[in-house]
Amino acid sequence: MRSYSLIAPAKINLHLEILGNRPDGYHELAMIMQSIDLADQIDIRSISTDNIYLHCDHPQVPQDKSNLAYRAAELMMRQFPKAYAQYGGVEITLHKRIPIAAGLAGGSTDAAAVLVGIDLIWNLGLTQSELQELGAQLGSDVPFCIAGGTAIATGRGEQLSPLPDIHQLYVVLGKYRSLTVATAWAYQTYRQQFGSSYITDAKSLETRSSRVHSGPLVKAMFHQDGVKMGQLLHNDLERVVLPTYPQVLQLREAFQSQGALGSMMSGSGPTVFALTQSSEQANHIQQQVKAMNLAPDLELWVAQFCNTGIQVISSVKSN
């Protein structure tokens, strides 16, 4: 019997640009993603039956096939039937610390951890690239979550180009417990409102996609210029989410009023983050915004940029 405990970091988007439609129905995107040390813990162990058992300490997290972590285990069983026959099923326990339905890739990073954990339990010896190819079958954010750190993501988000690690930057994260924003709704609404401006020819899409690699935000990141980075945060989805959910805009403005380097919604929301250069500033902003009493169900966290994706923190091997 083997078991592993893994840490699965959340991610934020520092840049999210919608370029056009893809033939597969997704959007063509250009993003810059960043791991943060707000993380779930995933415990996974081999069992003597052929089943998948999934447990979670959060009452709102499904524990069946609708959970991406469960589907990650199913995918590994389909892809590696000999290893599955040899080692059997798995029991997965999710310890949720990342808020759910928050635009922080909580489900994707849990799935990434399951892929890594089963690879280890079954002695498959998969490379990071091979794990990312599997992850892309589950969701656009899963490949990034496997590697983590800082990266440019293009295509539908699964094509990754690593960037240098960013040091000593912190974020304050805020989310209303009662508020969720459906990712599909956000993208569909954006398409309805702004689809006429989409790039339609492949060459122009490729040119625009590559432009982010040499853009001003990436230059600021190479120079570790947190002030400039804060000024250059960008998320196209704010154009549809903020008018529909004014409390998200109110939170972003509250962060900005307290001296953050920059503030923006992450992904499709509704989580908003404020960028700071120190933990002291982050904690100060957290306390000041908390004192504003914007809403009784507003939750706030402080996290630091981190340069890793899925990490093993302990393992047990027994006969």
Kind plus residue range of the DSSP H or E element containing 265: strand 262-265
Please, what are the domains in the chain? 2-164+307-317 (3.30.230.10), 170-304 (3.30.70.890)
| pLDDT per residue rounded down to tens, the chain (319 residues) | 789 999 999 999 999 999 998 888 789 899 999 999 999 999 999 998 999 999 999 888 888 888 999 999 999 999 999 999 999 999 999 999 999 888 899 999 999 999 999 999 999 999 999 999 999 999 999 999 999 999 999 988 889 999 999 988 999 999 999 999 988 899 999 999 999 999 888 888 888 888 888 799 999 999 999 999 999 999 999 999 999 999 999 999 999 999 999 999 999 999 999 999 999 999 999 999 999 999 999 999 999 999 999 999 998 876 5
Asked if residue 316 lies in contact with residue 46, where contact means CB atoms within 8 angstroms, the answer is no
Q: Measure the CA–CA gap between 192 and 298, rounded to whole angstroms.
A: 30
Residue carrying the six token digits 């983050």: 273
What is the spatial distance between Cα 219 and Cα 196, in angstroms, rounded to a whole number? 30
Q: Does residue 141 carry a catalytic annotation? A: yes
Per the annotation, the verdict on 11 as an active-site residue is yes
Spatial separation of the C-alpha atoms in residues 187 and 106, rounded to whole Å: 19
One of 40, 110, 119, 141 is an active-site residue; which one? 141
- Catalytic residue, from 11, 43, 175, 236: name it: 11
Q: Does the reported pTM lie above 0.85? A: yes
